[in-house]
Structure 1
Amino acid sequence: MSEAFCAHAEAAALILANVDLNGTMGIAYIGGVLSCMVYGVTCIQTFHYFRSQQSRVDAWYLRNIVALLLFLDTGHQAIIIQALYYYVITNYNNPFAFLRASWSIPTEVIINAVIAFVVESFFVLRIWKLGRNVYVTATAMLFTVAHFTMNLYYPIEQFYNPEFPAGVEKLKATGSAGLAVAVVADTFISAAMVWYLHKGKSGIRRSDDMIGRIIALTITTGGLTTTFVILNLIAYQLRPQLLYNLAINFLLGKLYINALLTSLNSRSFVRSGMSESDAVSVSLSTFAFRSAHLNTTELSGSDSHRTLADGSLSKVSSEV
């Protein structure tokens, strides 16, 4: 047996002795399995949206956003499978592969960044339609752009620093800052939507019930994504050299997508218990458009019905 081979075997054994397989490939595998399950939910929600009557009257850009997100999520899932295949199959019994990040790892983060930007921008538009407040909307968009920028900067830097664990330590401050900005962005967007919705309550029981359902959905979907971002930040801070944060990151983009799809597919639930005439009778002023000085008398019956057919039930229940 040659001396070089012995040295190589000793180095491989040393790497394996210092690698926590449960905290690296084990948790990454679990994250990959869970991401497959959530991707299935994305497909079901997308199918439900496109076969619904509401999608046929939605604006063209809304249908394109849903199609784009399904395309991005499909690519995202393929990248996750490639990453796991690379480490578990292609480099089976090759512990030296653990010393460098595969190209698929930063690529997965970039796709997540694009997904988060599209979804957050969608909800920022909802904030504008709810409140018509330039300062609040601009602040929400600023946080969204900052989140997107940090989410792009980190994986691009990782392409140039793929070494493990040196690259992880070098990029820890950047990664932590990006996750912190994500928490702020998601929290601000959800809080702004809930605030404007709450202000829109008029005392009319049926309209207030509808607003209550929207608020509950906003808190549930927004709270879920924010919780996972916080967990990602905690995992990255406490154990940056393990892959708990990567496993959580596998799920983040899919949670963003399903937050948007849930808001679209839940519109019949939001309007449950209200007839079309009840829904039409709810003025735009009820839904926080008071700043625009709109009231029920300013809306003709045809305008109200067009609002309903536009897929936006007073620009709130259908797209929030």
Structure 2
Amino acid sequence: MSITPTFDGLTVGNTYGALLLGTFFSLVLYGLILHQTYRYIRLHPHDYTYIQVLVASSLILETLHTVCTMHANYHALVTNYFNPIALLRKVWSLNALILTGELSKISTFPFFIRRLYFIPGNSIYTVVLSTVFLAVDLGFSLGMTIRLFQSTDLATFLTVVIKDKETYLVQGKFAAAVATHIMLTGSLVYAVHRGQKTRKERKSVADLCMLYVVNTGLLVSVVDVIAWIIASVQPGTGWWIGLLLVTVKLYMVTFLAVSSDMTITFISFSSTRSLNSRQQLLARGGIDIFGTDSTTERNFISRAQLLATAERYNAPQLPERAPTRIDIKVATEVEEGDAGEDSLSRTSHSSMIIEEGKVVRM
């Protein structure tokens, strides 16, 4: 099924011209991505295999998306410069433009979703909702790609499909994308702000911008909202597609910035620990460093492993509300008596509490 062409209100400037400007800005960001990838390889040669695979696959998809944008512009504005009729025919790179961009963006999201999971205080429902909205975004993008394949040219796709008949495709896509940003960026900004309030060190304006604007994904969110506004006001033009090209690159820039930079530090966590008596420890068949009454609900090793993983995902940690407290209880059993006689045992108990740097013996 094909869609007949129309050129109502469209010019080369607001179709391929908008696409060309978006390509210019996205190429600048692609150069930054290459530099970030090189820096990541140098700084983290022994990183988690999972993250290395994400970086490699995202870079491949970004490169494919960049090739599609350049080829579409070159085909329309250079190869067929003296043949305007050629604009009535689409080329493979234009058909694959939206799909490759979405695949490139989606490839970075497992990192962001997992990062959100490691932020204390976030419900599992937040992670699930972010994943659902991401899937909805991909679904609408696939629908737009199908309609782009069915359209005879870019002008027909913009006017007949996006502007007149199926406006819900672009509106649904941006609505789902913004909802995902609210979940991801909102949680990160809140966690970073809480963490910075408990720290006394001062950061420069550049560091704060990097921390709040880039590392949290706030910049991507702002550009996506602007693209949504343009798509709502001028749905029949290609300006929102030009901004979409920039947004795709910003996702990768944010991903690599977080992967390579450890600017988000961890807030010291508090805990109440307990060492039980000798009889209780032996009854368990070993030594329990932290008792079952631990307020962190994790033993030391698992807690350290969790923090190490969260640190690699650069997930900010919120301070816990309980004061720092270590409660140590020791039971000592002493046997008295001469050899050959019945021995008597005497048990003494002692405890020591360490709280906020003070040692209190009891």
TM-score under structure 1 length normalisation:
0.74
Partners of 2:29 and 2:209 in 1: CA distance: 23
Q: Aligned-pair distance for 1:242?
A: 2.6
Per-residue deviation at 1:202? 8.3
Give the SS at the match of 1:130. coil
By percentage of residues, which structure has more helix? Answer: 1
Q: Give, in angstroms, the shift of residue 176 of structure 1.
A: 2.2
2:39 pairs with 30, 35, 48, which one? 48
Q: 1:93 aligns with which of 62, 82, 87?
A: 82
CA RMSD, aligned part only?
A: 3.5
Q: How does 1:239-254 map to 2 (within 5 A)?
A: 239-254=234-249
Cα contact 2:211–2:264 (8 A) shared by 1:
no
- Following TM superposition, by how much is the alpha carbon of 1:259 offset from its aligned partner in structure 2, in angstroms? 0.8
Q: 1:135 to 1:168 in 2, by over 3 A?
A: same
1:150 aligns with 2:164: no
Distance of aligned partners of 1:140 and 1:162 in 2 relative to their CA distance in 1, 3 Å threshold: same
Deviation at 1:74, TM superposition (A): 0.9
Residue in structure 1 matching 2:53, options 55, 64, 75: 64
Aligned counterpart in structure 1 of residue 13 of structure 2, from 22, 28, 37: 22
How many residues are paired up? 280
Residue among 76, 84, 102 paired with 2:91 = 102
Deviations 1:111-158 (A, max 9, x none): 111122222332111111113522111111111111121122211221
1:133 matched residue in structure 2: 123
CA distance in 1 between counterparts of 2:15 and 2:27 reads: 18
Verify the 8 A CA contact 1:102 1:162 in the aligned structure 2: no
Identical amino acids, percent of aligned pairs: 20
Q: 1:128 & 1:312 partners in 2: Cα distance?
A: 12
Structure number with greater Rg is 2
Aligned match for 1:294, one of 283, 293, 296? 296
CA distance in 2, matches of 1:94, 1:149: 36
1:235 corresponds to which of 219, 224, 230: 230
> Which residue in 2 is equivalent to 1:171?
161
Report if the CA contact (8 A) 1:182-1:229 is conserved: yes
Q: Distance in 1 between matches of 2:237 and 2:138?
A: 24
Gaps of at least 5 residues in structure 2 are: 1-5, 272-293, 318-362
CA contact (8 A) 2:98 2:145 kept: yes
Checking the alignment, whether the CA contact within 8 Å between 1:197 and 1:215 is kept in structure 2 is no
Do structure 1's residue 217 and structure 2's residue 211 form an aligned pair? yes
Pick closer, same or farther for the CA change 1:298–1:44 going to 2, 3 Å. Answer: same
Task: Specify which structure has the higher proportion of strand.
Answer: 2
How far apart, in 1, do the equivalents of 2:124 and 2:74 lie?
47
SS at match of 2:33: helix
Are the equivalent residues in 2 in contact too, given 1:28–1:84 (CA < 8 A)?
yes
